[in-house]
Amino acid sequence: MRIGVLAIQGDFAEHIAMLERLGAETTEVRLPRHLDGLDGLIIPGGESTTIGKLAVDFGLLDPLREFGKTHAIWGTCAGAIFLSKDARRSQPLIGIMDITVERNAFGRQVDSFEADLEIAALNPATQPSAPYHAIFIRAPIIESVFGAASVLSTLPDGRIVAAQQGKLLATSFHPELTQDTRFHQYFLSLAR
């Protein structure tokens, strides 16, 4: 299986390291032709304005929309914003996920945090559930899901931090910054 990681800007190297640990082949995607032959794509954390601007400048928006019709795409943090249909401000988006996001929803960097989450989808039914330790950095929240999207995880106060829509995934937090491979394994199962 070959997974691309959008390498315009952000922590793409961390995603690549995690995918290679799990035995996937990887490709850095910076131009439309780099999408050829991929089974799935991860859009990393970074600055969504930077990623959006360069995606427009190098003609990636439409190819990414096409790719998402038939393939798995997972956006972490900035990537989740980039996948959303509505980010509550004017910036370029792929706009293929039925979610509304709010950027920097927890405040500035001093408010960035770590927390344990319950994510049922990551736990096999036969095993006791283990919490997922998540890292949130100037993180967005998923304000609402609609249409075909559903909630995958929330904080204890009910705010949505992970959502899924078929083969599309969005997370406010950064599994690539941890040693826990469950979220990447889950994504590979969608890409298969």
Instruction: Evaluate whether 181 touches 15 at the Cβ level (below 8 Å).
Output: no
- Residue 145 half-sphere exposure, CB side, CA atoms within 13 Å? 21
List, in order, residues 6 or more apart from 127 with CB less than 8 Å away. none
Question: Closest separation between CB of residue 33 and other proteins, Å?
Answer: 12
Establish whether 176 is a catalytic residue: yes
**Considering 14, 71, 176, 184, which one is annotated as catalytic?**
176
- Give how far Cα 129 sits from Cα of 117, 119, 126, 151, Å: 11, 8, 9, 18
Question: Closest separation between CB of residue 27 and other proteins, Å?
Answer: 14
Q: Which of 60, 77, 96, 97 binds other proteins (CB under 8 A)?
A: 77
d(CA 134, CA 175): 7
End-to-end CA distance of the chain: 7
**Is residue 10 within the footprint of other proteins (CB under 8 A)?**
yes
**Is residue 46 within the footprint of other proteins (CB under 8 A)?**
yes
**Is residue 25 within the footprint of other proteins (CB under 8 A)?**
no
Q: Which of 67, 102, 152, 174 binds other proteins (CB under 8 A)?
A: 174
**CB closer to other proteins out of 133 and 167:** 133
Looking at the DSSP bridge assignments, the partners of residue 75 are 43, 170
Scan for tokens 């922590």, then name that residue: 11
d(CA 55, CA 70): 20
Q: Which of 18, 43, 78, 122 binds other proteins (CB under 8 A)?
A: 78
**Is residue 8 within the footprint of other proteins (CB under 8 A)?**
yes
Give the number of residues in contact with other proteins, rule: CB under 8 A: 40
**CB closer to other proteins out of 107 and 166:** 107
List, in order, residues 6 or more apart from 21 with CB less than 8 Å away. 181
Question: Closest separation between CB of residue 58 and other proteins, Å?
Answer: 8
d(CA 192, CA 183): 14
Question: Closest separation between CB of residue 192 and other proteins, Å?
Answer: 28
Q: Which of 2, 61, 86, 103 binds other proteins (CB under 8 A)?
A: 103
**Is residue 181 within the footprint of other proteins (CB under 8 A)?**
no
* Active site amino acids: 77, 174, 176
